[in-house]
Amino acid sequence: MSIEQICLTESEKTKPRLAYIPYQQAISWVSPVQKRGLNPSVSVFVTQRAYVRFSAHAGSDLENEVGGWLIGKWRADKSTGEQFVVVERILPAQHIRHGSAFLTFTHDSQVALYNEFEDRYPDKDLIGWYHTHPRMGIFFSDYDAWLHLNFFPELWQVALVIEPHSITGGFFIRQKDGALDQKRYFGFYELTNRQKRSIVHWRNVSTDNESIPSQGE
C-alpha cells in the first residue's frame, strides 16, 4: 500500500475519556494467532453497523485493494483504567489509485476524508484505518507498518486488514511498549443487541466468551 502526502493533525487529546468497558454487551472473537505472548495497548470493540459497512466495502472490489478510515471512540474503563476503542463508523477513501496489491491515497482522497471526518464526526476519534488484501492473506507489509507507525502514531490507533476472498480479517494493534507485530493479528469484541445475535462471518476467528470478565472486574 502506498500513500501520498498524508497530513494528519496531531491528536489534541492526551487522555481518553472515561467510560465503562462494554464487555457484557459483547461477543469476543479471537484470532488463531493472538493467544500467546501479546500484550495489546487497547481492546477493540466494533459495532455491528461498522462491521457490516467495512465488510461491504471490502467485498465491493474483489480484484483491487480498497480502504479508508475507522471512526469511533477512544476510552478508558472507569474501574480499571484499561483502554479500549469502539469502531462505530467507516469513511471509505474516494479518488484512489489501486491495483491487486496496492492502494494509493491521493491528495484529493486525503482532503475528502479529512473534511468528511471534521464535518460529520467532530466529536469522534480517528481510531485508525483499514484496507483489503485480495488473495494475499492477513498480514502487515513493511510499507503498511511504516504508514501506520508514521501517520497513525497514537498507541491506541489500530489497523484492520480484510481478505475478501477467504472471508477473513484481523486487527493489528501495538503492544503496550509500542511494538507492532506484522504477522500476528487480533480479533475483536462484537457489540450486539440484547439477544446477542452475532453477524460476524469471518472464517478465521472463533468465539471466546469465557475470557470476558464480569463488569467492573
Please write the tens of the pLDDT for every residue from 19-66. Answer: 999 999 999 999 999 877 788 999 999 999 999 999 999 999 888 889
H-type alpha helices, 9-165: 48-58, 107-120, 142-151
The type of residue at 20 is Y
Q: The C-alpha cell of 149 is what?
A: 507507525
Instruction: Please state, rounded to an integer, the average pLDDT across all residues of the chain.
Output: 85
pLDDT given at position 5? 41
Say how far apart CA 112 and CA 67 lie, in whole Å.
14
Residue 142 contacts by C-beta under 8 Å, 6 or more apart in sequence? 182
Question: Is residue 76 pLDDT above 90, yes or no?
Answer: yes
pLDDT digit string (tens) for 130-141?
999 999 999 999
- Mean pLDDT, rounded, for 8-18: 69
Question: Is residue 6 pLDDT above 70, yes or no?
Answer: no
Answer with the residue of higher pLDDT: 195 or 82.
Answer: 82
- Which pTM does this prediction carry? 0.87
- Domain-by-domain residue ranges, the chain? 16-211
Question: Left (φ > 0), alpha (ψ -120 to 50) or beta: where does 190 sit?
Answer: beta
Question: Is residue 212 pLDDT above 90, yes or no?
Answer: no
105 falls in which pLDDT band (50, 70, 90)? Answer: low
- Mean pLDDT, rounded, for 161-172: 96
Beta carbons within 10 angstroms of residue 47's beta carbon? 16
> Domain 16-211 is in which class?
alpha beta
